[in-house]
Amino acid sequence: MTDIKKRLISIKKSIHRAEDTANRSHGSVELLAVSKTWAADTLRQANQAGQRLFGENYVQEALKKITELIDLNIEWHFIGPIQSNKTKDIATHFHWVQSLDRLKIAQRLAQQRPKNMPDLNVCIQVNIDNETSKSGILPAELFSFAQQISKLDNLILRGLMIIPTKTTDQKQQRISFKKACTLFEKLAEKYPSVDTLSMGMSADMILAIEEGSTMVRIGTALFGERTLRNSNK
Ligand SMILES: *Cc1c(COP(=O)(O)O)cnc(C)c1O
């Protein structure tokens, strides 16, 4: 068995345990494999071990892998900052965009989504802790932003993505996750297409699931530490 397969099995076990703790059914939390900096071969191994959802942060790097892995059944999620000159590549190659936080970018993605492809699934990135100079829509602006997004053709609003303040204080982490979950539930009441709360990474996955995450984004725990050697950035 490959190391990746072993780690994948162990992560899935942890997810199931956290689902049990939270009285949630198995399968209520999806696993997104965050594969930035890792070569296509590594992703292929993970896919052969059963992983279907992959998240990428850099467009150029992702396009190379998407082309190399075109023979596989992979759902591609874009989770990095979006420059306007990259929206066309994103709109034509990805199934999901989780890092949406500007209307202009959303409009470009909507215009550039090819008509023969299904709607692009989008999550709004929320700056849940109101941190200065951090990506994401402020919680206070979420509902007016969501309304604008919901009017665009070729996009479908699926939910929220959050990256909380970096801290090891579990109390603080729970507060951020709870805030996100409350916003998510309100949003889902208003928009029936909303079913995804993307929160939790390698270090805080368990807490995130206990507080209502429906998708965890896992890089390090699955692929190992990202080093300069495998990094393009
Ligand atoms: C890199 C990244 C992750 C994965 O982080 P790990 O700590 O390696 O699990 C998750 N989400 C986003 C937005 C990222 O950029």
The burial of 198, by beta-carbon neighbours within 10 Å (0-12 exposed, 13-18 middle, 19 or more buried), is given as buried
Relative to the CA of 202, which ligand 1 atom is closest? 9
The pLDDT value given to residue 230 = 58
Report CA(59)–ligand 1 centroid distance (Å).
16
Q: What is the mean pLDDT of each run of 10 residues along the chain (233 residues)?
A: 96 98 97 98 98 98 98 98 98 98 98 98 98 96 98 98 95 98 98 98 98 98 84 50
34 CB within 6 A, ligand 1: yes
Report CA(92)–ligand 1 centroid distance (Å).
23
Task: Name the E strands within 127-168.
Answer: 155-162
The pLDDT value given to residue 130 = 96
What's the full length of the chain, in residues? 233
Give the Cα separation of 204 and 72 in Å (integer): 30
**At 108, which helix (H) or strand (E)?**
helix 103-112
The pLDDT value given to residue 233 = 46
Give the Cα separation of 152 and 149 in Å (integer): 6
193 CB within 6 A, ligand 1: no
Report CA(208)–ligand 1 centroid distance (Å).
14
Sign, CA torsion 135/138/144/147: positive
Contact 22, 210 (CB under 8 A): yes
Alpha-carbon distance values, 206 to 13, 29, 89, 125, 200 (Å): 11, 11, 34, 20, 8
Identify which of 42, 201, 225 to mutate to test ligand 1's pocket (most ligand atoms within 8 A of the CB): 201
- Return the residue matching tokens 């989780």: 98
Give the list of residues 6+ apart from residue 18 with CB closer than 8 angstroms, or none: 29, 205, 206, 209, 210
Whether pTM exceeds 0.95: yes
Residue environment code for 159-182, b if the CB has 16+ CB neighbours within 10 A, otherwise e: bbbbbbeeeeeeeebbbbbebbbe
Task: Name the E strands within the chain.
Answer: 30-34, 53-56, 75-78, 96-100, 120-126, 155-162, 196-198, 215-218
The pLDDT value given to residue 229 = 57
Closest CA to 77 of 66, 68, 88: 66
86 CB within 6 A, ligand 1: no
